[in-house]
């Protein structure tokens, strides 16, 4: 059966069980530019903004920007930016059409259009979900000055490729025009994400300032103003935030099911769970939507919430992914139903909880109980391979930070260290027990070459740590390497069965 396409023209013909935007989309003005319009943004920030628009805050429409691929634009442009958010749990599914994305731009096709959106005086907030690897950090956490895209953007400020280049050039042009700076709101899983992005942008702007000074060029700033790096350091707000919602990849079966339920075709619906959380540092000099009316927690310090989420949800997710893959489990719910993996996750949570502040009002018992329910959601079919991507970028804040704090405090961390070993073992298993490109990592080329040498476990772990920069210059680095190497020996000898048995865990079940 051929269906019409979801669009403004077909919106009112949708069945009653699908909720639709409760506002006139023609009355909406753009106020937010979002970099990285993937499924997570469309399940999370865009839904919160949709609530605000429905409540009458009409100045916060979203201009979506894809920094790499045109796929999302190509899917949503014929749909006037509309898409279906399918909220699924074991009890069923509810459908909601989101209308907050007004337009879509693809940066490689027209960087000038992206800059025009960023310097538009109506733009007061720029949000980002570009994934950890797109922040282009070197192994020491600082800006990777040698990355080809950073080099390009420094040489070609008017034709940027990176978020760093777009934000810096836009802020320079706004300052030159006398337009107040926008607020930059990072929504990626980075520790102190606002402060981290702020530091990276200051580093980038300082390199740009140095380059312009060497060339004798005049910056885009009123005569006598401070360098651009100082402007970004002192005059631009970078609040931190914590985001939480599980968003599995959309499948063709999802598209077919949604088309049947709506009676129209949606080229890229988004699947998600009922749970949704957003904690935001309340620092928006240019104004913001009243997100708190719709469940967003506005706070002075995001740190404790961020650490709890990174270490309990994201950390256990990585453990479930790598150990699940090595145990033959394709989805999170199946892996979490494995008695051994479930017992392992409970113990990992106990270790990670010991690193969280006791005086921050965190209810870790309630949080992990809710996580257990979310991980058991059979309707999501969240693929372990999807979560496994980019481990070299994710594990430092999800696992390694907790391990180092445990080592400093003299507390248990043997379950946390198994996650790092499982990542190494899963990377080595690609092309053997796992399909060759089952998941990916920015370090795939050197990782593959290193792991193909089949070095002894301790040498392998040391080389991987050197490559990824894990625990660089930390006094407990060698201890951490040795702990991970013991797990890797077990995983190499008899997979998760022996690794779990060494921890006193039994009962593993493969699909």
Tens-of-pLDDT digits for all 511 residues of the chain? 457 999 999 999 999 999 999 999 999 999 999 999 999 999 999 999 999 999 999 999 999 999 999 999 999 999 999 999 999 998 899 999 999 999 999 999 999 999 999 999 999 999 999 999 999 999 889 999 999 999 999 999 999 999 999 999 999 999 999 999 999 999 999 989 999 999 999 999 999 999 876 766 544 444 446 799 999 999 999 999 999 999 999 999 999 999 999 999 999 999 999 999 999 999 999 999 999 999 999 999 999 999 999 999 999 999 999 999 999 999 999 999 999 999 999 999 999 999 999 888 899 999 999 999 999 999 999 999 999 999 999 999 999 999 999 999 999 999 999 999 999 999 999 999 999 999 999 999 999 999 999 999 999 999 999 999 999 999 999 999 999 999 999 999 999 999 999 999 986 454 4
- Residue 317 CB coordination number (10 Å): 23
Would you give the end-to-end CA distance of the chain in angstroms?
A: 35
Rounded alpha-carbon distances, angstroms, from residue 290 to 56, 146, 347, 510: 10, 41, 39, 47
**Sheet strands (E) in 140-287:** 183-186, 241-244, 264-265, 270-272, 277-281
Residue 84 φ then ψ, to 5°: -100, 130
How buried is 45 (Cβ within 10 angstroms: 0-12 exposed, 13-18 middle, 19+ buried)?
Answer: buried
What is the β-pairing status of strands 125-128 and 183-186? parallel
Q: Cα–Cα distance between 89 and 278 in angstroms, integer?
A: 20
| Cα angle 227-231-233, degrees, rounded to a multiple of 5 | 115
* 309's tokens: 């989420």
């Amino acid at each position: 059966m051929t269906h019409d396409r979801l669009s403004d023209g077909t919106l009112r013909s949708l069945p009653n069980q699908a909720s639709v935007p409760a506002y006139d989309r023609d009355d909406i003005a753009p106020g937010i530019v979002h970099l990285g319009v993937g499924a997570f943004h469309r399940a999370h920030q865009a839904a919160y903004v949709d609530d605000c628009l429905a409540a009458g805050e009409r100045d916060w429409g979203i201009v979506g920007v894809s920094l790499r691929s045109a796929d999302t634009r190509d899917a949503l442009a014929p749909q006037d930016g509309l898409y279906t958010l399918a909220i699924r749990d074991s009890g069923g599914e509810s459908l909601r059409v989101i209308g907050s994305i007004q337009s879509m731009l693809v940066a490689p096709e027209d960087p000038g259009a992206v800059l025009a959106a960023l310097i538009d005086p109506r733009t007061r907030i720029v949000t980002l979900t570009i994934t950890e690897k797109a922040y282009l950090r070197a192994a020491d956490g600082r800006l990777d000055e040698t990355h080809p895209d950073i080099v390009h953007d420094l040489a070609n400020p008017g034709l940027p490729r990176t978020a760093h280049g777009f934000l810096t050039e836009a802020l320079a042009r706004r300052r030159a025009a006398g337009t107040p700076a926008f607020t930059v709101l990072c929504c990626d899983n980075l520790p102190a994400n606002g402060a981290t992005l702020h530091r990276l942008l200051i580093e980038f702007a300082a390199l740009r300032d140095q380059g312009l000074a060497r060339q004798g060029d005049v910056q885009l700033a009123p005569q006598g103003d401070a360098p651009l790096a100082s402007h970004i350091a002192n005059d631009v707000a970078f609040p931190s935030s914590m985001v939480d919602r599980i968003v599995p990849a959309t499948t063709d079966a999802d598209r077919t099911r949604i088309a049947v339920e709506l009676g129209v075709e949606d080229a890229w619906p988004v699947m998600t769970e009922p749970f949704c959380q957003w904690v935001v540092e309340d620092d928006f000099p240019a104004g913001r939507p009243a997100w708190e009316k719709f469940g967003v927690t506005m706070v002075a310090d995001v740190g404790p919430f961020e650490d709890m989420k990174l270490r309990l949800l994201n950390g256990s997710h990585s453990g479930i992914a790598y150990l699940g893959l090595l145990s033959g489990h394709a989805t999170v719910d199946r892996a979490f139903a494995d008695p051994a993996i479930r017992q392992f996750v409970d113990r990992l949570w106990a270790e990670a909880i010991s690193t969280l502040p006791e005086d921050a009002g965190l209810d870790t018992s309630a949080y992990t109980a809710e996580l257990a329910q979310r991980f058991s959601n059979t309707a999501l079919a969240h693929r372990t391979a999807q979560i496994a991507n980019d481990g070299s970028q994710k594990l430092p804040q999800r696992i390694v930070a907790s391990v180092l704090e445990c080592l400093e405090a003299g507390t248990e961390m043997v379950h946390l260290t198994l996650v790092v070993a499982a990542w190494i073992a899963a990377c080595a298993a690609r092309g053997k027990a796992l399909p060759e490109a089952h998941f990916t990592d920015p370090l795939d080329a050197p990782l593959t070459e290193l792991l193909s040498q089949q070095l002894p476990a301790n040498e392998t772990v040391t080389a991987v740590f050197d490559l990824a920069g894990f625990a660089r210059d930390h006094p407990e680095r060698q201890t951490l390497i040795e702990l991970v190497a013991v797990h890797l020996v077990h995983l190499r000898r008899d997979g998760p069965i022996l690794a779990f048995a060494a921890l006193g865990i039994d009962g593993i079940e493969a699909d």
